[in-house]
Amino acid sequence: MEQPNHSYIDQLSAGNKAFKEKLISVIKEEFPEEKAIYLKNISAKNYKEAAENVHKIKHKISILGLEKSYEVARAFENNLKEEKTNLKDEFENILHVISEYLLTM
Amino acid sequence: MNCIIIDDETTARVIMNQLCSQVDDITILEEFPNAIQAIKYLNQNEVDLIFLDIHMPDFTGFDFIQTLKNPPKIILTTSDPNFAIEAFEYDCIVDYLVKPIHFARFEKAIQKARNATITNESPSTQSTPDQEATSDNHLYINIDRRLIKLEIPSIYLIEAKGDYINVKTEDKNYTVHSTLKKIEDKLPKDLFLKVHRSYVINVKKIIDIEDNSVLIKKDVVPVSRSNRPELMKRLNLL
């Protein structure tokens, strides 16, 4: 399983420690909220809304350097727009990996 | 360049602020989590450049652009590369950044914004209310801080009520804080006519005319003597 990394955040911070801390703190606050909304929508079969949630989460996936996972999220978002849920388990696995990683940050 | 950021994602706004802080001639004046707050700000303030997210709930970046009469330069920011073609149909859009945004690419976009000159006289960017209304065929009204899109042909009657107007459409009626003059200026002249100081009607929706009134749907609307000749001119009389 692909693992998250700091590479983009470090590059963006350009040595600015305060910014790096702020960004990490915002991601740690925003990601669980976005994940919770997604889980609520997918369990209620609100696929259109869930696709919007995946779209938003995609940005966090890319910030954490998860390139392959980003492609999975993109395909899953498109599937949801057609009310198809294949790739759901794979996507939710990515969410789990990110949640675990954020605990270590 | 004085800029604002519009993005519903806090993380994206934090990143955009950081990118802008590394460029000398960029000043972030404000940031907004939704387009409606930004529209209100732009009604009273001028900016040179907007960093605009496309995917936002209720009101997308493209919806937002369509509300602007003289849009400043806009750099779109999105996680979705699929909108690139649509984006360049707008003259005000100078670049399109796909998230996650890297500084080198951001710098290029800023350079494009510096180089871009938006000619407000250009017919494609400046729209008179009429052009705006007829080309888009819709109108946004502000109800309880939400901008609601109305299809212009569905409007059949607008009635002035003090500081408000009552906009009646095929589906629903809306009470809007505005004036008859303002909405009249936004509507196509070939379709709408002021028949009385308190009423504008859609002439295509007239059912019948009797003496000094017209029947539209179930509404009987008075026609003033001075407006009657123009109304008669519009009708396809046998």
pLDDT value of position B144:
72
pLDDT value of position B12:
97
Evaluate if residue B147 carries a pLDDT over 90: no
Residue A94 token pair: 């990515």
Q: Where are the domains of chain B?
A: 2-115, 129-234
Q: Does B22 touch chain A (CB under 8 A)?
A: yes
ipTM: 0.94
Q: Can you count the helices (H) and strands (E) in chain A? A: 5, 0
Task: Compare CB distances from B11 to A52, A55, A59 and report the shortest one's residue.
Answer: A59
d(CA B166, CA B221): 13
**Lowest-confidence range among A28-32, B69-73, B107-111?**
B69-73
**B99 Cβ partners below 8 Å, 6+ apart?**
A59, A62, B12, B77, B78, B79
Evaluate if residue B236 carries a pLDDT over 50: yes
Evaluate if residue B156 carries a pLDDT over 90: yes
Please compute the mean of the pLDDT values over residues B231-236 and round it to a whole number: 79
Q: Does B15 touch chain A (CB under 8 A)?
A: yes
Tokens 């900016």, located at residue = B47
Average pLDDT across each block of 10 residues of chain A; the chain has 105 residues. List them in order: 92 93 96 97 95 94 96 95 94 97 92
Do the chains contact at B9 and A59, CB–CB below 8 Å?
A: yes
Do the chains contact at B18 and A23, CB–CB below 8 Å?
A: yes
Name the CATH code of domain B129-234 (choices 1.20.120.530, 2.40.50.1020, 3.40.50.1100, 3.20.20.140). Answer: 2.40.50.1020
* DSSP state letter for B188: -
What confidence tens digit (pLDDT) does each residue in B181-206 have?
A: 889 888 988 899 999 999 999 998 99
d(CA B184, CA B104): 48
Residues pairing with B173 in the sheet: B168
Do the chains contact at A59 and B80, CB–CB below 8 Å?
A: no
| Interface probe, candidates B22, B23, B54, B79, chain A, greatest A C-beta count within 10 A | B79
Do the chains contact at B55 and A56, CB–CB below 8 Å?
A: yes
Q: Give the pTM.
A: 0.66
Reported as a pLDDT band with limits 50, 70 and 90, residue B148 is confident
What confidence tens digit (pLDDT) does each residue in B8-36 have?
A: 999 999 999 999 999 989 999 999 999 88
Do the chains contact at B14 and A16, CB–CB below 8 Å?
A: no
DSSP H stretches of helix in chain B: 10-21, 35-42, 61-67, 84-87, 103-115, 129-136, 180-186, 228-234
Please compute the mean of the pLDDT values over residues B119-148 and round it to a whole number: 56
Residues of A in contact with B55 (CB under 8 A): 52, 55-56
Average pLDDT of chain B to the nearest whole number: 84
Rounded to whole angstroms, what are the CA distances from A15 to A6, A19, A46?
Answer: 13, 9, 42
Q: Does A23 touch chain B (CB under 8 A)?
A: yes
**Class level of CATH domain B2-115:** alpha beta
